[in-house]
Amino acid sequence: MKLNIQEIRKQSEGLNFEQTLDLVDDLRARNQEILDVKDILAVGKVQYEDRMYFLDYQLSYTIVLASSRSMEPVELVESYPVTEVFMEGATNHLNQEILDDDLVLPIENEALDLAESVSDNILLNIPIKVLTAEEEAGQGFVSGNDWQIMTEEEYQAQQAVKKEENSPFAGLQGLFDGDE
């Protein structure tokens, strides 16, 4: 969905929108980790003020990603506010500095592309650590031949047992038990 800047300027109170988007193909092309994205909804407002366009909306969607531990599909429901500021072509040095510092985004083709904004924000908010409910509860650790994933506490306990077994004094334990 494109929001025409002429239409935005005509609305003194701003232009409200509620848009359902289907961006699965675009998002999967840009990031292969995404298995599915559904129910993308952007509800908000865009306003014009002093050569700047303020785009504020609430973004909600359901994204399916592979678990970072077991590769099982995990469905995450996300919802967060998005605020972006756009500016028409920079005509002086100060405006160009603002654009260069990424404080505002340039307007391309006389319109604000809501779909592009939504796609970019979904991609920017993909979590690095994705776990199934069992994995978050501390269960569901995968293992293989001679290896396993364990918690830090389990590792510390295992290291303490190994250290005790490898102690040079471990062989002396029980030496004087039968002499009493």
Q: Are 108 and 143 part of one and the same domain?
A: no
CB neighbour burial string for 31-54, b if at least 16 within 10 angstroms, e if fewer: eeebeebeebebebebbbeeeebb
Predicted pLDDT of residue 14: 84
Predicted pLDDT of residue 150: 74
Q: Report which of residues 86 and 172 the model is more confident about.
A: 86
Residues 6+ apart with CB under 8 A from 34: 27, 28, 63, 64, 65, 126
| CA pair distance 116, 154, nearest whole angstrom | 45
Predicted pLDDT of residue 121: 94
| CA pair distance 132, 39, nearest whole angstrom | 21
Q: Are 74 and 162 part of one and the same domain?
A: no
Full domain range(s) for residue 117 = 2-135
Predicted pLDDT of residue 140: 58
Q: Are 68 and 118 part of one and the same domain?
A: yes
**58-74 average pLDDT score:** 91
Q: Are 107 and 164 part of one and the same domain?
A: no
**Of residues 59, 17, 21, 19, the one with CA closest to residue 38:** 21
Q: Are 105 and 143 part of one and the same domain?
A: no
Tens-place pLDDT, residues 112-136: 888 999 999 999 999 998 888 887 7
Q: Are 94 and 116 part of one and the same domain?
A: yes
Q: Are 27 and 116 part of one and the same domain?
A: yes
Residue 177 has pLDDT above 80, yes or no: no
Task: Spell out where 50-110 has E strands.
Answer: 52-66, 73-87, 105-106
Q: Report which of residues 100 and 165 the model is more confident about.
A: 165
Residue 4 has pLDDT above 60, yes or no: yes
Tens-place pLDDT, residues 79-123: 999 999 988 765 545 555 655 555 677 777 788 888 999 999 999
Q: Are 104 and 159 part of one and the same domain?
A: no
Is residue 18 in a domain? yes
